[in-house]
Amino acid sequence: MRVAMYYNNHDVRLEEIPVPRIGPGEALVRVEASGLCGSDVMEWYRVERAPMVLGHEVAGEVVEVGDGVAQFQPGDRVVVTHHVPCNACHFCLSGRHTVCDTLRQTNFDPGGFSEYLRVPGINVDRGMFAIPDHVSFDEAAFTEPLACVYRGQKRAGLQTGQSVLVIGSGLAGLLHVDLARALGAGRIFASDLVESRLDAALRLGADTAILATDDVPSRVRDENGGRLADLVIVCTGALPALTQALQSVERGGTVLIFAPTDPGVDLPVPVNDVFFRNDITMTTTYAAAPADLSVSLDLISAGRVQVGNMISHRLGLADAGTGFRLTAEARDSLKVIIQPQK
């Protein structure tokens, strides 16, 4: 079968490897759509393990199931997630599924930028979800990233009517804007360095779009009744954005750090002003649990989040390198979907 083999962001090759063979409890899925994630182009995180087949935002069709699989059959349209928890450890039982050791060790074989996937038994059991008939494969491929966004807003405690500032209006930021609107947020602000992304944020539910080089805290205060944002969501790892978030959050508010920084970056925090005097909460989130994916797919199915409007490019495996370049440059694309069967 064909795969897009990743060596680095500028070297992604179309190669042939054998179709995986499945065992008891497993499934073979033909990949129809696989989204390119910002984490796929974080070279500091990926290159040491290259060459490898990436892609973890996967939707496809079951073509074979192993002995003991009763809940799925060939022909089923499914979303598949790569990381699943054990559901039995200390972390899972306390609701912290995404720091479970099992979740961090599970994956499918090889990756979503391939024609076929072998889905291990534990992933079949708790990481495969049937796609409603009216939802396209391309839309369903948003299930995993939207689930991560949903978990983040749940962790941050977003409440109806709260003002929200999203710093960084790439794909993750746009999902946060769209979901915050769907969950009943009040005034929503979005900032970015790229005008086209700010235009997209306005289309997807932001009330105000602000160039990141402007005085963002002042703009928020001016258009939010003299108050800063109740919730600031940081969707970029740039240190100035993190600093700006602390300057833009209202007393008693929350900063959700949703994107990693480059390695070795430390954030100086004025402890007395941020925590002691102003009672600001800083939190973060990683990945998603099965329940988050279920909610995410329901939101997509109900049309509550406009994922189809976020797709800027649909490419075949042979053009996956172009998709990596577009995603890494973070200027002329929103969501790149790889369609391995084309």
| pLDDT digit string, tens, across residues 102-149 | 999 999 999 999 999 999 999 999 999 999 999 999 999 999 999 999
Percent of residues, the chain, with pLDDT higher than 70: 100
Whole-model pTM over 0.95 = yes
Instruction: Kindly give, in sequence order, each residue whose CB lies less than 8 Å from that of residue 110, ignoring residues fewer than 6 positions away.
Output: 3, 17, 20, 52, 53, 117
Q: Which domains does the chain have, with CATH numbers?
A: 2-142+305-338 (3.90.180.10), 155-284 (3.40.50.720)
205 pLDDT band, cuts 50/70/90, is: very high
- pLDDT at residue number 93: 97
| pLDDT digit string, tens, across residues 270-287 | 999 889 999 999 999 999
Please, what is the average pLDDT of the chain?
97
| pLDDT digit string, tens, across residues 77-111 | 999 999 999 999 999 999 999 999 999 999 999 99
Query: Region 196-214: what's the mean pLDDT?
Result: 97
Percent of residues, the chain, with pLDDT higher than 90: 96
Query: Region 164-191: what's the mean pLDDT?
Result: 98
- pLDDT at residue number 341: 97
Please say if the pLDDT value at position 152 is more than 90.
yes
- pLDDT at residue number 332: 85
Instruction: Kindly give, in sequence order, each residue whose CB lies less than 8 Å from that of residue 254, ignoring residues fewer than 6 positions away.
Output: 156, 157, 230, 231, 232, 280, 281, 282, 283
Phi/psi region, residue 149 (left: phi>0; alpha: psi -120 to 50; beta: rest), is alpha
Report phi then psi at 193, rounded to 5. Answer: -90, -10
Please say if the pLDDT value at position 170 is more than 90.
yes
Query: Region 295-323: what's the mean pLDDT?
Result: 97
Place of tokens 């790439």: 170
Please say if the pLDDT value at position 331 is more than 90.
no
| pLDDT digit string, tens, across residues 231-243 | 999 999 999 999 9
| pLDDT digit string, tens, across residues 60-79 | 999 999 999 999 999 999 99
Report phi then psi at 31, rounded to 5. Answer: -80, 125
Pairwise CA distance, residues 149 & 251, whole Å:
24
Query: Region 244-270: what's the mean pLDDT?
Result: 95
